[in-house]
Amino acid sequence: MTKTKLAILIFFSSLFLGGYNYSPGDSFKTAFPSEDFLNMKGIAVSHVIKNSSDSLSDNKIVELQDENGLTIWFGRYFYKDICITGICRMVKLWIFWDGVGNYLGIQLDEKEPLTKSDHTPFEPQDYIRLDEILGDTVSILKELQYEDLVIEDGPQPNIDDIPEKDLFEVDGYSSATLPSLKEYVIKDAVFTCYTLWHTVYGETKVNIDDILKGRIDSNYLNKLLNGSENQKLFALEIIRQNSSFFFEFNSQLLPLIASQNKNISEKALSVVTPQYLSNSENQLRFIELMDHSLPETKYEIIYKLQLIDNISTDAIILLIDKYATGKISAGGLNQIFKIISKQIVTNKNILNNNEIESRLVQLSKHSDPYTANLTKNFLKSTR
């Protein structure tokens, strides 16, 4: 793959993207979900796909970058044959991916809308559905072969007429292709859905992933961590897979654990390593994140600590205090005791620590009988 960087800030639509006979212009207005990708501002970079298996479509991936060098989108112009029983029709459109390789949208010439098998143009709601289907990374279309597709013009059996045994579901994928597909795809456009889905997740995506992989370094990760939600998630996944980055970036990523965005919070938690948590200072820092975390994140923090062999007495004290002050609800007390139990195995004296002992004794006299009983029984079980 080669790339050419056009280092000028431009309106992308004013560019002539060489290599094919189409100059994106005003006619490319129909975009989904709603962005006019081709008129976005940025720096255009093109990447040539070598040995493309798609000889009809343009052999370049175009990338639009912002001023920091982060990708706004990747796009490719496609010519696609949609064939039904040997009769094909050509579809021309742009497909876009975001800066981490997720499907972003399509854009096509308003004079050449997508059409169905009965030659009627797609309705607005069809485009919305198509956009949802193309964004579905685990689509039912993934495992299907072209031959599996149903000719929709034929009679459709009623789902209730299909024997129960033929309707079974295994691992979320139904073998009852026909009725499931009917409900899933756009009516009279199953081949279009199929072809475009496999285009979105085909060789172009593989090339985009390779482009992104080639950029991974500290500088790039730093930019991603300050980028959009998807870019943060992408960066976190890279760090999760390559823990050597964790220590370099932990001050940036730990606050992400307390994010109110569940996806980011979960992903940020997944990168925290046991080595990091084996340090007592880090344990305290980690527990303090609870104060501003989502409720489910608080418990994930506790579960992480349950896996650690050496939790400091200060960390245990802090956890008990979080419970006593209502930062952790009644549902969490049992989980805190599991942490203490694990530590007792290697350090029997932990309960002789005055500060821990006095706090537990206080909890055992708590006005709420659940807290009091659970603590009493815990203390009894440890003696």
Partner 1 sequence: MRKFIAIVLTALIIHSVNAKSLTSLFIEAESFQNKGGWVVDQQFMDLMGSSYLMAHGLGTPVSDATTTVNFAKTGEYTVFVRTYNWTSPWTTKEGPGRFQLTVNGRALNNKILGTKSNTWEWQEVGKVKINSKTVTIGLRDLTGFNGRCDAIYFTMDNVLPPNEPEALTAFRKEKLGLPEVVPNAGKFDFVVVGGGVAGTAAALTAARQGLKVALIQDRPVLGGNNSSEVRVHLGGRINLDPYPKLGDVVNEIAPLRGGNAQPGDYYEDEKKLEMVNAENNISLFLNFRAFKVEKEGTTIRTVFAKHIETAEELSFSAPLFADCTGDGTIGYLAGADFAMGRESKAEFNEATAPEEADKMTMGSSVQWYSKEGDKSSDFPEFNYGIDFNETNAQKVTMGEWTWETGMNFDQISDFERVRDYGMLVVYSNWSYLKNKSSFKEEYKNKYLDWVAYIAGKRESRRLIGDMVLTEQDITDFVIYPDASAPTSWTIDLHYPDPKNTKHFPGAEFKSIAVHKTIHPYPIPYRCFYSRNVDNLFMAGRNISVTHVALGTVRVMRTTGMMGEVVGMAASVAAKNKTNPRGVYQKHLDKLQRLMTVGAGKYNIENIQNYNLGGTLGPKKINLQIPPYDKD
**Residue 196 C-beta: closest distance to partner 1, Å:** 25
Q: How many residues sit close enough to partner 1 to count as binding (CB under 8 A)?
A: 25
Q: Which residue in the set 8, 369, 380, 383 belongs to the binding site for partner 1 (CB under 8 A)?
A: 369
Give residues 193-232 in contact with partner 1 (rule: CB under 8 A): none
Largest CA distance in the chain: 83
**Which DSSP category does 144 fall into?**
-
**Smaller CB distance to partner 1: residue 45 or 328?**
328
What tokens appear for 113 in the block?
Answer: 């809308």
Distance (Å, rounded) from C-alpha 221 to C-alpha 35? 26
Distance (Å, rounded) from C-alpha 195 to C-alpha 144? 11
- Check binding of 168 to partner 1 (CB under 8 A): yes
Residue that has been written with the tokens 């040995």 in this structure: 51
**Residue 162 C-beta: closest distance to partner 1, Å:** 10
Q: Is 314 exposed, middle or buried (0-12, 13-18, 19+ CB in 10 A)?
A: middle
- Check binding of 170 to partner 1 (CB under 8 A): yes
Q: Is 244 exposed, middle or buried (0-12, 13-18, 19+ CB in 10 A)?
A: exposed
**Residue 340 C-beta: closest distance to partner 1, Å:** 14
- Check binding of 368 to partner 1 (CB under 8 A): yes
**Smaller CB distance to partner 1: residue 8 or 170?**
170
- Check binding of 377 to partner 1 (CB under 8 A): yes
- Check binding of 303 to partner 1 (CB under 8 A): yes
- Check binding of 93 to partner 1 (CB under 8 A): no
Q: Of 296, 297, 236, nearest to 268 (Cα)?
A: 236
What tokens appear for 150 in the block?
Answer: 């149903």
Q: Which residue in the set 299, 347, 362, 382 belongs to the binding site for partner 1 (CB under 8 A)?
A: 299
- Is the link from the previous residue into 33 a cis peptide, with omega within 30 of 0? yes
**Residue 342 C-beta: closest distance to partner 1, Å:** 11
**Smaller CB distance to partner 1: residue 1 or 159?**
159
**Residue 170 C-beta: closest distance to partner 1, Å:** 6
Point out which residues pair with 10 in neighbouring strands: 42
- Check binding of 296 to partner 1 (CB under 8 A): yes
Distance (Å, rounded) from C-alpha 129 to C-alpha 211? 29
Residues found near partner 1 in the complex (CB under 8 A): 160, 164-165, 167-170, 295-296, 299, 303, 329-332, 334-335, 338, 368-370, 372-374, 377
